[in-house]
Amino acid sequence: MLEKLVRVRTGWMPARQQFADIFIPGPVEIEQIGPADVPGWERADRAASQAYGDAWYDSGRTAVLIVPSLPAMGLEHNVLISQAHPSFAQIISGTPRPVVWDAGLFASD
């Protein structure tokens, strides 16, 4: 949610956003990287992170890539899942539920 809030910067969120829990079974390969693995990861232009993500997707080496969250560096992560990977079918998604945003996040006192 923090990633979305930082990226949108409109003072509001689009209606009807949803989220779902996911389960990644043991046999599905996961790659995880940290900021030190991609020099320039934190840059505002996102060139380094975009290039890494594109190369990961194009290579097809894993179904899942865990990356650092820029707004919560060292505390949170984002999970990228490649639908093109053969192991994608093993990943289970829960029932979508609505995202409820607290109005206080958008207050401009």
Pick the residue with more confidence: 5 or 70? 70
- 35-44 long-range contacts (CB < 8 A, ≥24 apart) are 35/68, 35/73, 41/68, 41/70, 42/70, 42/73
Helix (H, G, I), strand (E, B) or coil at 83: coil
* Amino acid letter for position 95: T
Give, in order, the Cα–Cα distances in Å from 56 to each of 12, 64, 90: 32, 9, 19
- At 74 the pLDDT is 74
Helix, strand, coil fractions of the chain, as percent rounded to 5: 30, 20, 50
pLDDT digits (tens, 9 = 90+) for 70-98: 777 777 889 999 999 999 999 999 999 99
Whether 17 shows a pLDDT value over 90: the answer reads: no
Q: How many CA atoms lie within 13 A of 68 on its CB side?
A: 20
Tokens of 76: 């949170």
pLDDT at 29: 96
Instruction: Report pLDDT for 84.
Output: 96
